[in-house]
Amino acid sequence: MYSLRGAEAPLFHGAACGGSDEGGYFGAKAPVFFIFYAALKRRSSTVLPAAGQTEAGISGLKPGFFYSLRGAEAPLFQGAACGGPDEGGHFGAKAPVFCTLYAALKRRSSMALPAACQILYVLSCANLPAMADVISSASIHEKHFLSDKVSQFTESVIREMTRRAMLYGAVNLAQGFPDFSAPAEIKAAARAAIDGDVNQYAITWGAKNLRNAIARQMGVWQGIAVDPEKEITVCCGSTEAMISTLLAVCNAGDEVVIFEPFYENYGPDSVLSGARPRFVKLRPPASENGEWTFDEKELRAAFDKHTKAIILNTPNNPTGKVFTRAELELIRDLCIEFDVLAITDEIYEHILYDGTEHISMASLEGMRERTVTINGMSKTYSVTGWRVGWAVAPEKITNAIRKVHDFLTVGAPAPLQEAGAAALGLPAEYYAKLAEGYRVRRDHLMPALESAGFKCFRPRGAYYVMTDISGFGFEDDVEFTKYLVKEIGVAAVPGSSFYRDARDGARQVRFAFCKKLETLDAAAEKLGKLRAR
């Protein structure tokens, strides 16, 4: 099956060779397979016979042979199931076998190629009656209970690394949550709310006190006027605000532009909302004090008539990039030109270094009516477990977000929303101290990482530092972080969790520094062992 290669592909004219998003899953070994796939997908079911002939041309099959297996027989190719609507939908009811093969290849990835290719081989050699025997001897009537969407992503690697840190008793610099106390005033406000019997549901889209405080705060910090009655939805963390927003605005076939590396939730969020992510690279700084940048042409190329939204996270996780006004204006111009929404995750709004300034996209001229601004209490007030976040959007979009949110979670914790209202009233010094505290931590951890052999990319905001691990000679980031947590005793996040193609992050590892100085010291001491390796 591997005998056809690049130059021969044009034989299957028009089919081309599958984009990197198709080919990437199968590796260089399976050009024939994804030529089939591309042929079927691009020509869609009306031209299936033509694609069938293409197959026949390769394998000597009769056209139509591939269509002989149907729904219930698909589980024969176990685990592969029948392809989700995005796979099967393109081929219509006629081609379950084809999409089964595709699913098998895609899900098992190239390691399982031999098995999937054997299936293809069986199909191409066997005659129909023999195939029927194979089918009847297998357990073909087992039901497939799981959602096809869910099979397209894994559990969060960030959260998995926290579990590993606990398993090995390692210092956890993986998941971004503080190990120090939240401000006493807001804990007191939460206690007071519980003592005052704020125990029942708040208004589904958020307690009035909190919405008023959010509106006031957006006015003070960003000069954005917000109607707390019509434009705010309080959710269970900004995580829920993001997925509720995407579910509220995306239709199948929509595309969402995402800068890469990206906070890992955005990938599954896109899948769950039926949108197709289009990634645009942020490139690491060339010099020690440089910035992560993107290519204007590459960004423009990601926008087209299918683009529904761009997800923008500034200050950025994992890179620490703080988007400049000029960059935001460039994105703004594309949003307006292509009639696209900006969905901005501004959860690190107050965590800024080196004189950088946070600019909300909604404050830019022309963007207020096409921006959903997402934020929350977690990072600003060191309460990641309280799960209080929000989405601010124009009324029509807010109405849609509120519907999704209502049926997903009904509401965020009521007493903690009251504490949120108190938190948002903290004076400006609180935020200055917060940022300064993180600057000290950043400047504490970075030298320790550098002297252990990491190359660091200096963050300008948020509380992570991305590093380059090329100096250590490990196979990849995953091997490295496994070693680091088990043998050295420090948990970090493998860079590949922030990229669509794992190879792009294979030389990067992220450390969180939202920890007490003594925790960072403990990590530094352990990292010292790396040098001796």
Instruction: List residues binding ligand GLN (CB under 6 A).
Output: 158-159, 175-176, 239, 263, 317, 512
Shortest spacing between CB 66 and ligand GLN, in angstroms: 43
Min dist CB 290 to ligand GLN, Å, is 23
Shortest reach from residue 138's CB to ligand GLN, in Å: 41
Give the nearest distance from C-beta 89 to ligand GLN in angstroms. Answer: 31
Say if residues 96 and 75 touch (Cβ distance below 8 Å): no
Nearer to ligand GLN, 104 or 491 (CB): 491
What residue number has its CB nearest to ligand GLN?
176
Q: Minimal distance in Å, beta carbon 175 to ligand GLN?
A: 4
The residue among 70 and 159 lying less far from ligand GLN, judged by its C-beta, is 159
Minimum CB separation of residue 114 from ligand GLN in Å reads 37
Rounded to a whole number of angstroms, the minimum distance from the CB of residue 482 to ligand GLN is 18
> Alpha helices, DSSP H only, in 10-95?
20-23, 31-43, 48-59, 85-88
Nearer to ligand GLN, 96 or 176 (CB): 176
b/e code 263-293 from CB counts within 10 Å (16+ = b):
bbbbbbbbbbbbbbbbbbbbebeeeeeebbe
Cα–Cα dist 466/80, whole Å: 36
Strand 307-313 vs strand 255-260: parallel, antiparallel, or unpaired?
parallel
Q: Which is nearer to ligand GLN, 40 or 182 (CB)?
A: 182
Q: Which residue has the tokens 């995402």?
A: 258
Q: Phi, psi (5° rounding) for residue 512?
A: -100, 135
Closest CB to ligand GLN among residues 159, 396:
159
Let me know: does 81 contact 74? Beta carbons within 8 Å: yes
Distances in Å between the Cα of 398 and the Cα atoms of 165, 245, 371 are: 39, 9, 11
Estimate the crossing angle of helix 395-409 against helix 237-249, to 10 degrees. Answer: 120
For ligand GLN, give the closer residue by CB, 284 or 376: 376
Nearer to ligand GLN, 317 or 467 (CB): 317
Please work out, in degrees rounded to the nearest 5, the angle formed at the alpha carbon of residue 259 by the alpha carbons of 255 and 260: 115
